[in-house]
């Protein structure tokens, strides 16, 4: 279903937030090619056309292999700074004001990057993102689940010891199959007690049992992806009643072959059950995704009204970990933009 120009204008005008984007996965193809030339022998293509083919994923495991290869190219502060600023520039072009960016410190340290280089790159990139692009960035430090409890423990220690400015949450990523959520419960308990919010991945490539574990064992405030919830009515009711938002990434799910198309995506079922749904890009250049594009794709596939599109933007703001005054201001701006873009009927005169 083609999207009318008026809806495109509304999506472009709406102030937005991004709640599920990985720093490594935000690397532009040109940046990846430049890093591959700088660090030969990685197996990452340097030719743009070949790189585009390389980003065609057979399945989720193939995507992870490519992702980890790109990650291995990041060696120092300058590389991290370049990724952060590039992401901010891309977000600013889409009127995205705030993003919570997932960083996996354990993997960078394992690849040989000193911790102070990682932190310095994050800090300088964050400052430039705000000053030059008007985008506020926050961090989620996540555990690479496939590396087990050792990775969980060291990620927790690094997060709480360093506690960089902008760190708001604690996550869990990587493959879900064979990687139980419950084993990471002690680390999430400690992180939550220290004031970090819980945002584990669950239900991206597995069913509702993984999401149940994320909310029960890890105290999830939000769930990364969570589309496996759609087959369990009781879980949908639980998420709705407790206002646990899902960080839904439709194009990502299509590109990693978890769903056949945007039209076949369970986002409609999630919305119909009143589950808080936020739209996100996950690893945007790798998937050919943009935040505006996610709104437009879902609007087209589901035939959303302008009011429903604005509600998706509001849901992301409400689910964010922004301070309350910033959330209130963004919600008010969404209301103003929506009122200006949508011609509302005049109220009936009072008798």
CA distance 25 to 83: 9
CB 35 within 8 A of CB 296: no
Burial pattern 42-79, b for ≥16 Cβ within 10 A else e, equals eebbeeeeebeebbebeebeebbebbebbbbbbbebeb
Say what angle helices 306-319 and 5-13 make with each other, to 10 degrees: 20
Respond yes or no: is residue 204 known to be catalytic. Answer: yes
Length of the chain counted residue by residue: 351
Q: DSSP letters along 202-269, please?
A: ESSSS-HHHHHHHHHHS--SEEEE-GGGGG-HHHHHHHHHTT-EEEE-HHHHHHTTSSS-STT-THHH
Please name the residue that has the structure tokens 């590389």: 79
Residues 6+ apart with CB under 8 A from 7: 296, 299, 306, 309
The residue with tokens 């790798």 is 286
Q: 190 and 244 in contact (C-beta within 8 Å)?
A: no
Cβ contact 44:31 at 8 Å: no
Catalytic residue among 117, 176, 204, 294: 204
Alpha helices in 95-178 (DSSP H): 105-110, 115-133, 148-162
Q: What six digits make up the tokens of 329?
A: 């201001």
Task: Provide the annotated active-site residues.
Answer: 204
């Amino acid at each position: 279903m083609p999207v009318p120009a008026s809806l495109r204008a509304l999506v472009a005008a709406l102030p937005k937030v991004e709640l599920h984007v990985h720093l490594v996965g935000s690397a532009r193809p040109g940046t990846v090619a430049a890093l591959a030339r700088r660090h030969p022998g990685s197996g990452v293509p340097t030719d743009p056309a070949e790189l585009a083919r390389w980003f065609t994923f057979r399945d989720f495991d193939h995507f992870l292999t490519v992702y980890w290869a790109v990650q291995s190219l990041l060696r120092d502060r300058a590389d991290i700074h370049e990724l952060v600023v590039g992401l901010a520039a891309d977000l600013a072009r889409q009127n995205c004001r705030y993003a919570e960016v997932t960083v996996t410190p354990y993997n960078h340290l394992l690849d040989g990057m000193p911790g102070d280089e990682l932190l310095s790159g994050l800090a300088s990139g964050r400052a430039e993102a705000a000053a030059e692009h008007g985008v506020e960035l926050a961090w989620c430090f996540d555990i690479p689940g496939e590396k087990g409890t050792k990775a969980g423990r060291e990620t927790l220690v690094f997060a709480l010891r360093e506690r960089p400015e902008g760190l708001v949450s604690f996550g869990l990523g990587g493959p879900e199959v064979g990687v139980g959520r419950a084993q990471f419960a002690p680390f999430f308990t400690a992180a939550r007690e220290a004031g970090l919010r819980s945002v584990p991945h669950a239900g991206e490539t597995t069913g509702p049992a993984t999401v149940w574990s994320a909310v029960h064992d890890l105290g999830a405030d939000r769930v990364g992806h969570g589309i496996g919830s759609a087959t369990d009515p009781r879980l949908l009711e639980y998420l709705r009643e407790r206002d646990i938002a899902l960080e839904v990434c439709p194009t990502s799910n299509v590109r990693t072959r978890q769903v056949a198309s945007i039209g076949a995506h369970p986002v409609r079922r999630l919305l119909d059950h009143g589950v808080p749904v936020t739209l996100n890009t996950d690893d945007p250049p790798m998937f050919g995704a943009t935040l505006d594009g996610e709104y437009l794709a879902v609007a087209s596939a589901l035939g959303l009204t302008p009011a429903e599109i604005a509600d998706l933007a509001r849901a992301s703001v409400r689910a964010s970990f922004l301070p309350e005054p910033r959330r209130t201001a963004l919600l008010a701006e969404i209301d103003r933009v929506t009122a200006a873009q949508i011609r509302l009927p005049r109220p009936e005169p009072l008798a």
